[in-house]
Structure 1
Amino acid sequence: MYGDRKGSKVMKINFVSSLHRSMSSWHLLTILLLLLSLQLRLALGSFTLFGPAKKAELRDQVRQMFYHAYDNYMQYAFPHDELKPLTKTFTDSLGELGNLKLERLSEQYNGSALTLVESLSSLHVLGNSSEFEKGVLWLGENLTFDVDVRVSLFECNIRLLGGLISAHLLATDLSKKSFREPYKDQLLILANDLGQRFLRAFDTPTGLPYAWINLKHGVMENETTETSTSGCGSLILEMGALSRLTGKPEYEESALRALRKLWSMRSSLDLMGTTLDVTTGEWIEHSSGIGAGVDSFYEYLIKAHILFGRDEYWDMFSSAYTAVQKYFRHGPWYHEADMRTGKATHWQLTSLQAFWPGLQILVGDVLAANSTHREFFSVWERYGVLPERYLLDRDMLHPTEKYYPLRPELAESTLFLYQATRDPWYLEVGEAIINSLNVYTRVNGGFASVRDVTTMKLEDHQHSFFLAETCKYLYLLFDDTFLVNGNYVFSTEGHPLPVTHSWHEWIPSIYMESEAFEYKRGGKHVFKSAMSSKLCPVVKVSPVQGKFWVESACHVLDKRSNHKCQSDKECGVDATTCRQRTCSIAGYCGLWLVKF
């Protein structure tokens, strides 16, 4: 599972075994060096002590950033899709998302309040229940999808469908406490309507969906049959959730059949290409990596396993992750390679790859996540923001892709790494990101994308994901109250979906096609999930001095806000394995190593 990182495993094993024996001279020397390093950083002023006051100050800065973006959208762009902050106007961009050539744009389309939909879960995270309720009521009364507009199935799924489903779940809970008017499932009704329109995209010989669909008329005549791996392999979270909320299995069945077909097309190396044909099931582009066109495919495999409890998703992810580590990884970086041979094709960093360390945290690969995250942040520090594409083999920016569209991926990974380690260095990273965004991208009318990171010339566009993801992840970095109150999986668009037993127990018929984990209760076949069985996928079991230690795929974030400890008892029980956590000799609870 961990590729060639034998040294990392040895380090982990030595660390764990040291918890139960006296410190060697090597450990004493290591601690002395760490203390000396800390003392030097304090003396040089390069280390910030993040107490409650400092964290509250940065949290409030993020809050101000969000409302500066949100208020300007509501004043100058609502109910259109997105804000143009330089001119304080709007763009109806839903039909343009992913549409690089701006083909077949609709002249009748006037927007779907995209940024409002995307902002709802962030409003809830920030604790603004009144504005959240106001947005829910407006959408329930005014939003319709019976509009003549050709949209990207992928973009519409992660932004609109995901935003509506997440907000519906939050509204269901919030309406019991603070809503002035009773919530009547308005957002779920909208989501169900949108899901019905999506189903028409899956009418292909392979079951792989078209990348483009007209919301009013379905698949258009002479529509392109080309799609991306992400486009047809990153639908399962939203459509699976919609099935569970409506009781209609067709949404999840369509998404899962497409995912299974896609997985069957992998190479003998367990690698996927980037683009394919939905009618023939043949690959068009064989070079692939962890960036654009394939990134969320990996993300949704592990997150579907967490959310729905199916071992099928874990099996896919485990094989795919191992292949990525074997063929794409080069030290802390990830290049691209031919899916058929594993040979490197393009040596480049893309900003979308910055999500990868956050994904690695979900499976407990903390050391590798930290290594890659630090490299991405070093590029951020060099330019002030993260350029869209950087050529690693030439140590230079891509000549045409020098932009930064307010992407959230680095902030996302920073949040996950801080949650896993409680290392205050990640708070320093978050502060640096906040400062950069305010210095380079904040304008009077909102936040603008950077057109060229070498000149910091701006572009007149504030993407909806800036409010859905970038601001949300930065806020949670400094105030994780929302995470402490419940366990959530965040979609690739940053929309939280709760991890619940009921979703693990619900089983549509499509799972029965390959069901191997059933037992009889009262004469009925009932699925017994990994969560209800208190099981967790094991990545590696290693014998250490007569004991066995497990590197666990601890995918549910710990609810405690402080990992400092004096005894194992204070660390509590791991949420996914139900085993006692250990307290290290340094006084911190073990996060990914648990006693077997």
Structure 2
Amino acid sequence: MRFATSLTALAVLPGIFAAPTTLGHRTDSTSSASSRADAVKQTFQIAWNGYQKYAFPNDELHPVSNSFSNSRNGWGASAADAITTAIVMDLPDIVNVILNYIPTINWGVSYQNEAVSLFETTIRYMAGMLSAYDLLNGPCSGMANNTGNVAQLLQQAQNLANNLSYAFDTPTGIPSNNLILANRSNDGSTTNSIATIGTLVLEWTRLSDLTGNTKYGQLAQKAESYLLNPQPSWAQPWPGLVGTNVDIASGQFADASGGWNGGDDSFYEYLIKMYVYDSSRFGTYKDRWVAAADSTINYLASHPSSRPDLTWLAAFNNQTTNENSGHLACFDGGNFILGGLVLKKQQYVDFGLSLVSGCEDTYTQTLTGIGPEGFGWNSSTIPSGQEAFYQKAGFYITSSQYILRPEVIESFYYAYRATGDTKYQDWAWNAFLAINSTTHVGSGYSEISNVNAANGGSFLDFQDSFFFAEVLKYSYLIQAADAVYQVNHRGANQFVFNTEAHPFKVAGTPI
């Protein structure tokens, strides 16, 4: 099936594949990796051209109907997510279109006055601007036609933070996530999740460090403090692993259910990334990551009965595990690898590599060569009709969509940067070919309904902004030459990627 998918992709990307490639084997050469990077760049340009023609400056392209939507405030989410990928791909024409647009955004007005997610806005808009500022003032300087627009990136990031910062005006300092900007209110939610609380600290701290105004980082770090010291004690079933929802008024955890899936995922991701960002200030974050990592290895690592060679992470409710996961959680291998590299602990790298292999299997087993949104491996709850699939694959599908998610390729990227083993480049290339051939439609690339159906089932007519920021950036960087913004560049990390794959300059690192 891999080979058939590859042939389809060749037709989609004519003229790029002059250099021979051998899929699924450790046979990459510098020239073939370079041609692969060029192919990813061409896909980025196709996706951008469709977006610019039919959707810009709205949030997302609908590539089938050549229309658009505004699910992320109407401020141009795809442009904000695309800018750093365009920078590292050296596409100055696209970079300057976005640079000219960003100063025009009014952060005080959202599309149809809809609620603004503090979390999503931070990881996409604020992060995209801060990262572009770091890159264009550092290793990618000289790309902007108007240097004043580069300065505007930081000014607009600060303006955005000023519009959002009232979210932290709560009894505890734990923010409300869904904000109604018109009257500086929120949606009335009484709890917030550890992911939406704990995935602000990198961006808001970087903003403080760049502006010299400490209030931004202090807001996010105060909110984080409730996650670093969880109360009550029962909310931490195992050391470092905590529940999902926190009461905004009291700071008390409301449950003891969680894992590395959505709602929890990037809280754990940012613990080690804050230590990468500044080890002198965020040693406590590292300690909490180590505790969570050790407990995860000891209590959540799980192997399906039909494929004991595979490893995934179970969810938990108190100390009862639940054998289900999904595409979102497949960042976990890359996060363990990063932690192992930074802490010089090979056991974390090795465990991360085992998770990477398990997530790769979710791709190789489906008809499209793309992994599903959700999967499980509890042998007592196999859905009717999936018994044979479970015996072969080690998992059954609980949600068959693919919504242009990046996490599996993200972990391939970290695996390659840690080991230099070209099989991870091949795995990423195979994934890229499958995604490119299956999701390409009309003016861009679309979510699909069923990864285990011929041609992906049906098109859902939606091109997510993170397709630009993450899928195509990681697909490109794993094939591209080493550079200062690459993970583990010459054995060190001079940049750290936020959860949306926007690279931030590590604090105190000269460029």
TM alignment of 1:37-52, pairs within 5 A: 47-52=25-30
How many Å apart are 1:80 and its aligned residue? Answer: 0.3
Q: Secondary structure, in 3 states, of the residue corresponding to 1:459? A: coil
Q: Which residue of 1 aligns with 2:375?
A: 390
Normalised to the residue count of structure 2, the TM-score between the two structures is 0.82
Matching residue's letter, 2:238: L
**Cα distance in 2 for residues equivalent to 1:303 and 1:164:** 19
1:338 aligns with 2:317: yes
1:355 aligns with 2:355: no
How many Å apart are 1:131 and its aligned residue? Answer: 2.6
Specify whether residues 218 and 430 from structure 1 end up closer, same or farther in structure 2 by C-alpha distance, changes over 3 A only: same
Q: Which residue of 1 aligns with 2:357?
A: 374
Matching residue's letter, 1:362: L
Match of 1:134 among 73, 97, 101: 97
TM alignment of 1:78-97, pairs within 5 A: 78-95=56-73
**Cα distance in 1 for residues equivalent to 2:397 and 2:277:** 37
Q: Which structure 1 residue ranges, 5 or more long, are not aligned? A: 1-43, 96-110, 504-558, 560-596
Q: Which has the higher contact order (CA 8 A, sep 6+)?
A: 2
Q: Which residue of 2 aligns with 1:167?
A: 132
**Cα distance in 2 for residues equivalent to 1:336 and 1:174:** 40
**Cα distance in 2 for residues equivalent to 1:229 and 1:480:** 36
How many Å apart are 1:51 and its aligned residue? Answer: 0.8
The number of residue pairs the alignment matches comes to: 440
Q: Secondary structure, in 3 states, of the residue corresponding to 1:492? A: coil
Q: Secondary structure, in 3 states, of the residue corresponding to 1:494? A: coil
Deviates more, 1:292-301 or 1:274-283: 274-283
Q: Which residue of 1 aligns with 2:236?
A: 267
Match of 1:291 among 261, 282, 288: 261
Specify whether residues 433 and 231 from structure 1 end up closer, same or farther in structure 2 by C-alpha distance, changes over 3 A only: same
Asked if 2 retains the 8 angstrom alpha-carbon contact of 1:207 and 1:261, the reply is no
Q: Which residue of 1 aligns with 2:272?
A: 302
Matching residue's letter, 1:476: L
How many Å apart are 1:368 and its aligned residue? Answer: 1.2
Q: Secondary structure, in 3 states, of the residue corresponding to 1:451? A: coil
**Cα distance in 2 for residues equivalent to 1:440 and 1:177:** 37
Match of 2:44 among 66, 69, 75: 66
Matching residue's letter, 1:208: I
**Cα distance in 2 for residues equivalent to 1:45 and 1:187:** 41
Matching residue's letter, 2:267: F
How many Å apart are 1:349 and its aligned residue? Answer: 2.1
Q: Which residue of 2 aligns with 1:224?
A: 189
**Cα distance in 2 for residues equivalent to 1:138 and 1:45:** 40
**Cα distance in 2 for residues equivalent to 1:176 and 1:352:** 33
Specify whether residues 421 and 157 from structure 1 end up closer, same or farther in structure 2 by C-alpha distance, changes over 3 A only: same
How many Å apart are 1:289 and its aligned residue? Answer: 0.9
- 4+ long deviations beyond 6 Å: none
Q: Which structure 2 residue ranges, 5 or more long, are not aligned? A: 1-21, 304-310, 341-347, 383-389
**Cα distance in 2 for residues equivalent to 1:213 and 1:46:** 47
**Cα distance in 2 for residues equivalent to 1:167 and 1:134:** 13
Match of 2:285 among 297, 313, 323: 313
Q: Secondary structure, in 3 states, of the residue corresponding to 2:261? A: coil
Asked if 2 retains the 8 angstrom alpha-carbon contact of 1:153 and 1:212, the reply is yes
Deviates more, 1:379-388 or 1:257-266: 257-266
Q: Which residue of 1 aligns with 2:120?
A: 155
Q: Deviations over 1:280-328 (max 9, x none)?
A: 3343442211111111001101001110222121122122222222221
**Cα distance in 1 for residues equivalent to 2:23 and 2:202:** 45
Structure index of larger Rg: 1
Q: Which residue of 2 aligns with 1:425?
A: 423
Q: Which residue of 2 aligns with 1:452?
A: 450
Specify whether residues 350 and 200 from structure 1 end up closer, same or farther in structure 2 by C-alpha distance, changes over 3 A only: same
**Cα distance in 1 for residues equivalent to 2:443 and 2:358:** 33
Q: Deviations over 1:551-576 (max 9, x none)?
A: xxxxxxxx9xxxxxxxxxxxxxxxxx
Q: Secondary structure, in 3 states, of the residue corresponding to 1:378? A: helix
Q: Percent of aligned pairs with the same residue? A: 29
Match of 2:296 among 312, 324, 328: 324
Q: Which residue of 2 aligns with 1:246?
A: 211
Asked if 1 retains the 8 angstrom alpha-carbon contact of 2:312 and 2:355, the reply is yes
Match of 1:488 among 475, 489, 495: 495
How many Å apart are 1:446 and its aligned residue? Answer: 0.5
Q: Secondary structure, in 3 states, of the residue corresponding to 1:122? A: helix
**Cα distance in 2 for residues equivalent to 1:173 and 1:60:** 23
Q: Secondary structure, in 3 states, of the residue corresponding to 2:133? A: helix
**Cα distance in 2 for residues equivalent to 1:274 and 1:85:** 35
1:193 aligns with 2:165: no
How many Å apart are 1:370 and its aligned residue? Answer: 1.5
**Cα distance in 2 for residues equivalent to 1:134 and 1:404:** 30
Q: Secondary structure, in 3 states, of the residue corresponding to 2:33? A: helix
Asked if 2 retains the 8 angstrom alpha-carbon contact of 1:145 and 1:216, the reply is no
**Cα distance in 2 for residues equivalent to 1:258 and 1:431:** 40
